[in-house]
Structure 1
Amino acid sequence: MTEAAFILDILRGWGIVGSLVAAVFLTIGMDRIDADARGAYVFRPLLIPGILVIWPLVLWRWYLYETGAERWESRYDPPRKAHFTVGWVMPIGICLIILTGLSVRQTWPIGFEPVQLSAPSETAQ
Protein backbone atom coordinates (compact mmCIF):
# COMPACT_ATOMS: atom_id res chain seq x y z
CA MET A 1 0.00 0.00 0.00
CA THR A 2 1.37 3.36 -0.95
CA GLU A 3 1.38 6.39 1.28
CA ALA A 4 -1.31 8.07 -0.81
CA ALA A 5 -3.62 5.06 -0.50
CA PHE A 6 -2.97 4.97 3.24
CA ILE A 7 -3.82 8.66 3.61
CA LEU A 8 -6.99 8.19 1.56
CA ASP A 9 -8.02 5.25 3.73
CA ILE A 10 -7.52 7.36 6.87
CA LEU A 11 -9.56 10.21 5.39
CA ARG A 12 -12.27 7.80 4.27
CA GLY A 13 -12.46 6.31 7.78
CA TRP A 14 -12.55 9.81 9.32
CA GLY A 15 -15.44 10.71 7.02
CA ILE A 16 -17.36 7.52 7.78
CA VAL A 17 -17.06 8.01 11.53
CA GLY A 18 -17.90 11.69 11.10
CA SER A 19 -21.04 10.86 9.11
CA LEU A 20 -22.17 8.41 11.79
CA VAL A 21 -21.57 10.99 14.52
CA ALA A 22 -23.39 13.65 12.47
CA ALA A 23 -26.40 11.36 11.95
CA VAL A 24 -26.68 10.46 15.64
CA PHE A 25 -25.90 13.93 16.97
CA LEU A 26 -28.28 15.77 14.66
CA THR A 27 -31.16 13.38 15.31
CA ILE A 28 -30.71 12.70 19.04
CA GLY A 29 -28.01 14.86 20.58
CA MET A 30 -28.99 18.29 19.32
CA ASP A 31 -32.34 18.18 21.10
CA ARG A 32 -30.72 17.03 24.34
CA ILE A 33 -28.08 19.74 24.64
CA ASP A 34 -29.86 22.76 23.16
CA ALA A 35 -33.44 23.54 24.14
CA ASP A 36 -33.70 26.17 21.39
CA ALA A 37 -32.94 23.56 18.71
CA ARG A 38 -35.95 21.40 19.56
CA GLY A 39 -38.21 21.24 16.54
CA ALA A 40 -35.81 23.22 14.34
CA TYR A 41 -34.81 20.76 11.62
CA VAL A 42 -34.16 23.01 8.64
CA PHE A 43 -30.74 24.29 9.76
CA ARG A 44 -29.35 20.90 10.80
CA PRO A 45 -28.12 19.82 7.34
CA LEU A 46 -25.96 22.95 7.35
CA LEU A 47 -24.05 21.53 10.32
CA ILE A 48 -23.11 18.26 8.59
CA PRO A 49 -19.85 19.47 6.93
CA GLY A 50 -18.58 20.92 10.19
CA ILE A 51 -19.43 17.80 12.17
CA LEU A 52 -17.70 15.62 9.58
CA VAL A 53 -14.47 17.51 10.19
CA ILE A 54 -14.54 18.07 13.96
CA TRP A 55 -16.47 15.03 15.14
CA PRO A 56 -14.08 14.26 18.06
CA LEU A 57 -14.75 17.73 19.47
CA VAL A 58 -18.51 17.26 18.98
CA LEU A 59 -18.40 13.97 20.86
CA TRP A 60 -16.30 15.49 23.66
CA ARG A 61 -18.61 18.48 24.11
CA TRP A 62 -21.67 16.23 23.97
CA TYR A 63 -20.14 14.03 26.67
CA LEU A 64 -19.45 17.06 28.87
CA TYR A 65 -23.03 18.30 28.55
CA GLU A 66 -24.54 14.89 29.22
CA THR A 67 -22.44 14.22 32.32
CA GLY A 68 -22.89 17.71 33.72
CA ALA A 69 -19.15 18.33 33.74
CA GLU A 70 -19.52 21.39 31.49
CA ARG A 71 -18.57 24.57 33.34
CA TRP A 72 -19.79 27.31 31.05
CA GLU A 73 -18.52 30.04 33.40
CA SER A 74 -14.90 29.12 32.81
CA ARG A 75 -15.20 28.29 29.11
CA TYR A 76 -13.75 31.60 27.92
CA ASP A 77 -11.29 32.32 30.73
CA PRO A 78 -8.11 30.77 29.28
CA PRO A 79 -8.22 32.64 25.95
CA ARG A 80 -8.93 35.93 27.68
CA LYS A 81 -5.93 35.50 29.95
CA ALA A 82 -3.67 34.92 26.96
CA HIS A 83 -4.92 37.80 24.81
CA PHE A 84 -2.42 40.34 26.13
CA THR A 85 0.57 38.05 25.55
CA VAL A 86 -0.62 36.90 22.13
CA GLY A 87 -1.41 40.50 21.20
CA TRP A 88 2.28 41.34 21.56
CA VAL A 89 3.88 38.09 20.42
CA MET A 90 2.05 37.91 17.06
CA PRO A 91 2.99 41.38 15.71
CA ILE A 92 6.57 41.01 16.90
CA GLY A 93 6.76 37.56 15.30
CA ILE A 94 5.32 38.84 12.02
CA CYS A 95 7.86 41.68 11.95
CA LEU A 96 10.70 39.25 12.65
CA ILE A 97 9.55 36.94 9.87
CA ILE A 98 9.38 39.82 7.39
CA LEU A 99 12.80 41.15 8.41
CA THR A 100 14.32 37.68 8.18
CA GLY A 101 12.81 37.20 4.73
CA LEU A 102 14.18 40.54 3.57
CA SER A 103 17.63 39.96 5.02
CA VAL A 104 18.18 36.54 3.46
CA ARG A 105 19.66 37.22 0.04
CA GLN A 106 19.88 34.79 -2.80
CA THR A 107 22.84 35.01 -5.13
CA TRP A 108 22.50 34.77 -8.88
CA PRO A 109 24.08 31.64 -10.38
CA ILE A 110 27.56 32.24 -11.71
CA GLY A 111 27.99 31.68 -15.43
CA PHE A 112 24.30 31.90 -16.21
CA GLU A 113 23.52 33.35 -19.61
CA PRO A 114 19.98 34.58 -20.17
CA VAL A 115 18.28 33.24 -23.27
CA GLN A 116 15.71 35.22 -25.19
CA LEU A 117 12.63 33.19 -25.86
CA SER A 118 10.86 33.41 -29.18
CA ALA A 119 7.31 32.63 -30.17
CA PRO A 120 6.69 29.08 -31.36
CA SER A 121 6.80 28.66 -35.09
CA GLU A 122 3.48 28.19 -36.85
CA THR A 123 2.83 24.81 -38.39
CA ALA A 124 1.00 24.41 -41.68
CA GLN A 125 -2.11 22.28 -41.57
Structure 2
Amino acid sequence: MNQAEMILMGLRIWGSIGALVAGVFLTVGMDRIDEDAREAYIFRPLLIPGILVIWPLVLWRWYLYETGREVWARRYDPPRRAHFAVGWMLPLGICAIIVTGLSIRQQWPADIAPERLSAPAEVSQ
Protein backbone atom coordinates (compact mmCIF):
# COMPACT_ATOMS: atom_id res chain seq x y z
CA MET A 1 0.00 0.00 0.00
CA ASN A 2 1.55 3.29 -1.06
CA GLN A 3 1.16 6.64 0.62
CA ALA A 4 -1.70 7.87 -1.59
CA GLU A 5 -3.71 4.72 -0.88
CA MET A 6 -3.11 5.14 2.85
CA ILE A 7 -4.30 8.76 2.74
CA LEU A 8 -7.37 7.76 0.75
CA MET A 9 -8.11 4.92 3.20
CA GLY A 10 -7.79 7.35 6.12
CA LEU A 11 -10.19 9.79 4.47
CA ARG A 12 -12.68 7.00 3.82
CA ILE A 13 -12.50 5.85 7.45
CA TRP A 14 -12.84 9.46 8.68
CA GLY A 15 -15.84 10.01 6.39
CA SER A 16 -17.47 6.73 7.39
CA ILE A 17 -17.21 7.53 11.08
CA GLY A 18 -18.45 11.05 10.33
CA ALA A 19 -21.46 9.67 8.43
CA LEU A 20 -22.30 7.39 11.35
CA VAL A 21 -21.98 10.26 13.84
CA ALA A 22 -24.05 12.54 11.59
CA GLY A 23 -26.81 9.95 11.31
CA VAL A 24 -27.01 9.35 15.04
CA PHE A 25 -26.56 12.98 16.06
CA LEU A 26 -29.11 14.39 13.63
CA THR A 27 -31.76 11.82 14.49
CA VAL A 28 -31.25 11.45 18.25
CA GLY A 29 -28.77 13.98 19.62
CA MET A 30 -30.06 17.18 18.07
CA ASP A 31 -33.41 16.88 19.84
CA ARG A 32 -31.73 16.14 23.17
CA ILE A 33 -29.38 19.12 23.29
CA ASP A 34 -31.37 21.87 21.57
CA GLU A 35 -35.04 22.32 22.36
CA ASP A 36 -35.41 24.81 19.49
CA ALA A 37 -34.42 22.09 17.01
CA ARG A 38 -37.18 19.70 18.05
CA GLU A 39 -39.52 18.85 15.18
CA ALA A 40 -37.33 20.92 12.80
CA TYR A 41 -36.09 18.42 10.24
CA ILE A 42 -35.68 20.55 7.12
CA PHE A 43 -32.34 22.18 8.05
CA ARG A 44 -30.65 19.02 9.33
CA PRO A 45 -29.36 17.77 5.94
CA LEU A 46 -27.48 21.06 5.66
CA LEU A 47 -25.43 20.07 8.73
CA ILE A 48 -24.22 16.75 7.28
CA PRO A 49 -21.09 18.06 5.44
CA GLY A 50 -19.91 19.92 8.53
CA ILE A 51 -20.47 16.95 10.82
CA LEU A 52 -18.58 14.68 8.41
CA VAL A 53 -15.51 16.89 8.82
CA ILE A 54 -15.62 17.86 12.52
CA TRP A 55 -17.27 14.77 14.04
CA PRO A 56 -14.81 14.54 16.99
CA LEU A 57 -15.81 18.06 18.06
CA VAL A 58 -19.49 17.20 17.64
CA LEU A 59 -19.08 14.11 19.85
CA TRP A 60 -17.16 16.11 22.48
CA ARG A 61 -19.74 18.89 22.63
CA TRP A 62 -22.58 16.35 22.74
CA TYR A 63 -20.84 14.61 25.65
CA LEU A 64 -20.48 17.92 27.53
CA TYR A 65 -24.17 18.75 27.07
CA GLU A 66 -25.35 15.29 28.10
CA THR A 67 -23.22 15.17 31.24
CA GLY A 68 -24.09 18.73 32.27
CA ARG A 69 -20.45 19.85 32.25
CA GLU A 70 -21.12 22.67 29.77
CA VAL A 71 -20.56 26.07 31.44
CA TRP A 72 -22.37 28.71 29.40
CA ALA A 73 -20.76 31.66 31.15
CA ARG A 74 -17.24 30.59 30.12
CA ARG A 75 -18.13 29.23 26.70
CA TYR A 76 -16.48 31.97 24.63
CA ASP A 77 -13.65 32.94 26.99
CA PRO A 78 -10.85 30.84 25.40
CA PRO A 79 -11.39 32.15 21.85
CA ARG A 80 -11.56 35.73 23.05
CA ARG A 81 -8.39 35.38 25.08
CA ALA A 82 -6.57 33.99 22.04
CA HIS A 83 -7.59 36.77 19.62
CA PHE A 84 -4.69 39.07 20.49
CA ALA A 85 -2.02 36.38 20.14
CA VAL A 86 -3.50 34.98 16.93
CA GLY A 87 -3.87 38.48 15.54
CA TRP A 88 -0.10 38.86 15.71
CA MET A 89 0.92 35.29 14.90
CA LEU A 90 -0.95 35.12 11.57
CA PRO A 91 0.69 38.13 9.85
CA LEU A 92 4.10 37.25 11.28
CA GLY A 93 3.69 33.66 10.10
CA ILE A 94 2.69 34.78 6.61
CA CYS A 95 5.75 37.05 6.44
CA ALA A 96 7.98 34.20 7.66
CA ILE A 97 6.59 31.85 5.01
CA ILE A 98 7.19 34.39 2.24
CA VAL A 99 10.74 35.18 3.40
CA THR A 100 11.56 31.47 3.76
CA GLY A 101 10.16 30.70 0.31
CA LEU A 102 12.18 33.48 -1.30
CA SER A 103 15.39 32.50 0.49
CA ILE A 104 15.20 28.79 -0.35
CA ARG A 105 14.57 29.25 -4.10
CA GLN A 106 16.31 26.67 -6.22
CA GLN A 107 18.82 27.84 -8.81
CA TRP A 108 18.98 25.72 -11.96
CA PRO A 109 22.27 25.07 -13.74
CA ALA A 110 22.86 27.38 -16.67
CA ASP A 111 24.00 24.60 -19.02
CA ILE A 112 20.64 22.79 -19.25
CA ALA A 113 19.26 23.41 -22.72
CA PRO A 114 15.49 23.68 -23.17
CA GLU A 115 13.80 20.72 -24.76
CA ARG A 116 10.99 21.15 -27.28
CA LEU A 117 7.88 19.16 -26.47
CA SER A 118 5.79 17.68 -29.24
CA ALA A 119 2.18 16.59 -29.33
CA PRO A 120 1.55 12.90 -28.64
CA ALA A 121 1.32 10.72 -31.73
CA GLU A 122 -2.15 9.69 -32.79
CA VAL A 123 -3.01 6.03 -32.35
CA SER A 124 -4.61 4.42 -35.40
CA GLN A 125 -7.21 1.78 -34.78
What range describes the TM-score normalised by the shorter chain of this pair? Answer: 0.7 to 0.9
Instruction: Show CA shifts across 1:72-122 (max 9, x none).
Output: 22121112112112212221222232233334453331322345x4876xx
Q: TM-score, normalised by structure 2?
A: 0.76
Aligned to 1:32: 32
| Structure 1 position 63 matched with structure 2 position 63 | yes
Once the two structures are superposed, the pairs formed by residues 3-14 of structure 1 within 5 Å of their partners are 3=2, 4-14=4-14
User: Considering only aligned residues, what root-mean-square deviation do their CA atoms show, in Å?
Assistant: 2.8
**Is residue 48 of structure 1 aligned with residue 83 of structure 2?**
no
Instruction: Mark the CA change 1:90 to 1:44 in structure 2 (over 3 Å): closer, same or farther.
Output: same
Gaps of 5+ in 1: none
Aligned residues: 121
Give the equivalent residue in structure 1 for 2:73. 73
Structure 1 counterpart of 2:78, one-letter code: P
Structure 2: runs of 5 or more not aligned: none
Q: Distance in 2 between matches of 1:6 and 1:105?
A: 31
Question: TM-score, normalization: structure 1?
Answer: 0.76
1:35: Cα distance to partner? 1.2
- Which residue pairs with 1:109 in the alignment? 109
Distance in 1, matches of 2:27 and 2:117, equals 64
Decide whether aligned partners of structure 1 residues 46 and 111 sit closer, same or farther in structure 2, where only a CA change above 3 A counts.
same
CA distance in 1, matches of 2:102, 2:47: 43
Larger of the two Rg values belongs to structure: 1
Using the alignment, how far apart are the partners of 2:31 and 2:18 within structure 1? 19
CA offsets 1:31-75 (integer angstroms, 9 cap, x no match): 111111111110111111221222221111111001110012212
